[in-house]
A = this chain, B = another copy of it.
Amino acid sequence: MDLTVIKISGSEGSDIDAVCDDLAELNREGRPTVLVHGASAAATDLARRAGVPVRMITSPGGHSSRYTDPATLEMYVAAAAGLMNKEIVGRLQARGVQAVGLSGMDGRLLQAQRKRAIRAVENGRQRIIRDDYSGRLTGVNHELLLLLLTAGYVPVVAPLAIGAEAEPLNVDGDRAAAMIAAALQADVLVILANVPGLLADFPDESSLVGCVRLGEIERAMDLAQGRMKRKVLAAQEALSGGVGRVVLADARRTAPIRAGLAGQGTLFIP
| A residues whose Cβ falls under 8 Å from a Cβ of B | 46, 49-51, 74, 77-83, 85-86, 89-91, 93-94, 98-103, 105-108, 143-144, 147-148, 151, 153, 160, 162, 165-168
Contact = CB atoms under 8 A, between A and B. Distances in A.
B78 A74 contact: no
A50 B45 CA distance: 10
Given A78-B46, A85-B81, A91-B166, A102 B105 contact: no
A98 B105 CA distance: 10
Contacts of A80: 82
A103 B101 contact: yes
A153 B144 contact: yes
B46 A94 contact: no
Given A49-B51, A100-B144, A153-B144, A108 B93 contact: yes
Contacts of A144: 100, 151, 153
Contact of A50 (B46, B91, B153, B168): B46
A94 B165 contact: yes
Nearest to A48: B50
Contacts of A166: 90-91, 93-94
A108 B101 CA distance: 11
Given A81-B86, A83-B77, A100 B106 contact: yes
